[in-house]
Amino acid sequence: MIEVKKLKSDIENKIINSEKVVILPHNNADFDAIGSAMGISLVSKKLKKDSYILVNDPLYKLDPGVRIIVDENKREYNIINSDKYNGMVHPNDLFVLTDVNKKYLISIPELIKSKDNTIIIDHHDSDENTIEAASKYIDTSYSSASEIIVSLLSACKIKIPACVANYLYAGIYLDTAKLTKNCTADTMKAVSKLFEYGANTNKVNDLFKEDFISDRKVQNLINNVQMTNLMIAIILADEDEEYSREEIAKAADYVLKYGADAAFAVGKIEDNMISISGRSTEKINIGSIMGALGGGGNPYSGATKIENSTIEEVGKQLKKALKPSYYIDNNK
């Protein structure tokens, strides 16, 4: 587990000695990324340092609930895009990556010049694509980056506003499939703490409301499911249909209900770009499989993107990457 006291001391020291704090959630930010980013912003506010959250995707491409969060909080939490940040770059800026550690998943990797001015807080496996940072707080045993941030805010004695408590709860809720997997006693303690600060399940559920057209696309995608002899479900989208990363991830999540040990959904997210999203019970290490295909994740979830290929070809690559060795021995 991450030494939260060390994280607290490290991040406070680096924030105090920085010009400003630039918080980098992953591209196409989800609830965990945006919630944990706003949690870090609270630490900066306490230390009276300006902070900015970089969200580079157009609003219409974000999940509807995330879109609401960004739109309602962009002024209060200085949510900006990289073009705006390019006009205020300072060599002593501190970069804090949250819910991400790979350079290809953030919007401005080229502007991170010094590993001493970089902190990573994440629950996904690191690999050769991980950003160089003197301070890495990466632990896949956590349910989410939001869970880590709740512990950090508690250690910093920061009162969490009710709205941010909702966003952090949404991050945990998302990454645990609504508290049905990858939950520990510490996860539930974090949730309990958020309720103390005013998190409200009804309000969080409102953030998860589905867009009708998007939900129909996910349901149509699920119709393409097939099962391998390793009890792994694979969904291959039609070659001419385009999806968002969230839609592909939701399809993989959904088919776990059919009793599969793991599920993968493969679909086109833009011209010449295929995305694979994987989800698992506690039996298969998704991060290892996605890592073998150039992506990453943790034992329960992961993703990768493959350029200049077809869904059929990517499906074949995925099937070749599936090995019994990725089953997790829970008796160790």
pLDDT tens digits, 287-297: 889 999 999 88
> Which position has the higher pLDDT, 127 or 143?
143
What single-letter amino acid sits at 128?
E
- What are the distances in angstroms from CA 115 to CA 12, 227, 244, 263? 17, 44, 32, 36
Contact 208, 300 (CB under 8 A): no
Residue 104: how many other CB atoms lie within 10 Å: 14
With 70 as the cut, is the pLDDT of residue 330 above it? no
Which pTM was predicted? 0.84
Contact 172, 190 (CB under 8 A): yes
With 70 as the cut, is the pLDDT of residue 328 above it? no
Domains annotated on the chain, with CATH: 4-207 (3.90.1640.10), 212-326 (3.10.310.30)
Q: Identify the CA nearest to 166 among candidates 34, 58, 263.
A: 34
Count of H helices and E strands in the chain?
12, 12
Give residue 325's pLDDT.
64
pLDDT tens digits, 240-288: 999 998 899 999 999 988 888 999 999 999 889 999 999 998 788 898 8
With 90 as the cut, is the pLDDT of residue 9 above it? yes
